[in-house]
A and B are shown apart, each in its own frame.
Chain A
Amino acid sequence: MTTLLKRASDEVRVFRLVKHIKDHYPPGAEKPLPGAFRLTNDDIADGVQRNIPPLLSVWDSAKTTVVQARMIRGSVAEYSPFCWSVATIRAIRIASAESLEVYHDPLTEITAAGACGHAGVAGLGKAKASKKEKEAHRELQVRLAEACAPWNEEP
């Protein structure tokens, strides 16, 4: 149920692991493309199954380190972290689309360190979206890509 999801506070900083950033064209690209912030078919199916908005997977940087997130994702080296504050994500507004929202979504089914910091961005897609809704979701992906920054953890 949506009511079981807890909204993240504005000051939380979340990061997303983007695969293969080193293999993007042009070489040395500093930011991911909008497609890095698109919900997968699995994300949509997960939302339907749990009766929640489909969520784009991100991590609360205060609860999960990049290394932990990479380990949970099953890869140490292939993922690069990009971040936003939750306030920045909520400030992304476009015409004819609902605002983005960030929820805590801890991975309760696993016990790995950092699993409690999993979170999700809602508003980037849904099952059976209309053409206009899909275009709004695509624009939100563009805006997320523009607003993100490389995440460098404190040692």
Chain B
Amino acid sequence: MALAIPATPIRIVEGLPSSPGTSIVPEVQWQANAAAYLGNFCDAVNDAAIKGDAAITGGPRFPPAVRVSFWRAPAPALNPAWVHFLERLPSLGVGTAHAESVRSFWTKLTRAIPSLPFPAAAPTADGEIQLSWDKEQHHLDLDVRSDGTIDWFYMDRLSSLRDSGDDTSVEDEIPNSLHSYLKAFFSTP
């Protein structure tokens, strides 16, 4: 299982699960086998930046082809202007703890979604720090409040879909819905 994980996304590795057995195996089980293979691999290399996916590919055949994809998300680039923005927040009237909440939440976001581009960012009139992304029809903004809670809003300009949430703390896991919407802003090389 010595797979070389490339330094930049996305390399596809195709393979077949072992031991097809003698009976017809439901495709979903093949997919589960591949997912376990993927999980074991990621655990073995112990690298949180490695992402993966497994899916049945091709037409009906036995054993079905299972494509296992690995990629190593690039480390967030050191961005002096972003660092400068964060460092200047206290001089804009933002409390030190609040500024630290912004910094830690951004770190959490980039660990979960390493290819997430830097947001546009600014303080709001009420003293929250707003992070904002726009890409094609997608818009998402989120406010980091001084009490460490997050108030986010997503809209799709084409479908008029809107969604929001305001009951998350910077200490919590990123809500699934927010994580899902943020995927719209992935940077892909």
Contact = CB atoms under 8 A, between A and B. Distances in A.
Given A20-B123, A138-B153, A34 B141 contact: yes
A38 B126 CA distance: 9
A142 B142 CA distance: 12
A26 interface: yes
A138 B125 contact: no
Contacts of A95: 160
B153 A36 contact: no
B118 interface: yes
A150 B38 CA distance: 52
B186 interface: no
Contact of A25 (B82, B162, B163, B164): B82
A138 B81 contact: no
Given A20-B122, A142-B139, A34 B132 contact: yes
A26 B120 contact: yes
Nearest to B88: A23
Interface in B81-129: 81-82, 85, 88, 92, 118-126, 128
B92 A23 contact: yes
A135 B164 contact: yes
Contacts of A136: 162
B130 interface: yes
Contacts of A19: 123, 125
Contacts of A36: 122, 124-125
A99 to B, nearest CB: 16
A139 B155 contact: yes
A134 B164 contact: yes
B92 A24 contact: no
Most chain B CB within a 10 A radius of its CB, from A35, A41, A138: A35
A131 interface: yes
Given A26-B81, A135-B153, A142-B155, A33 B141 contact: yes
Contacts of B153: 135, 138-139
Contacts of A94: 160
Contact of B130 (A29, A34, A131): A34
A138 B155 contact: yes
Most chain B CB within a 10 A radius of its CB, from A21, A32, A138: A138
A38 B88 CA distance: 23
Interface of B: 81-82, 85, 88, 92, 118-126, 128, 130, 132, 139, 141, 143, 153, 155, 160, 162-164
Given A135-B162, A139-B162, 14 more contacts: A19-B123, A19-B125, A23-B85, A23-B123, A24-B121, A25-B85, A32-B122, A33-B120, A35-B128, A35-B130, A35-B132, A138-B164, A139-B155, A142-B141
21 contacts: A23-B85, A23-B88, A25-B121, A27-B81, A29-B120, A32-B122, A34-B130, A35-B125, A35-B128, A35-B132, A38-B124, A41-B126, A94-B160, A131-B164, A134-B164, A135-B153, A138-B155, A138-B162, A139-B153, A142-B139, A142-B141
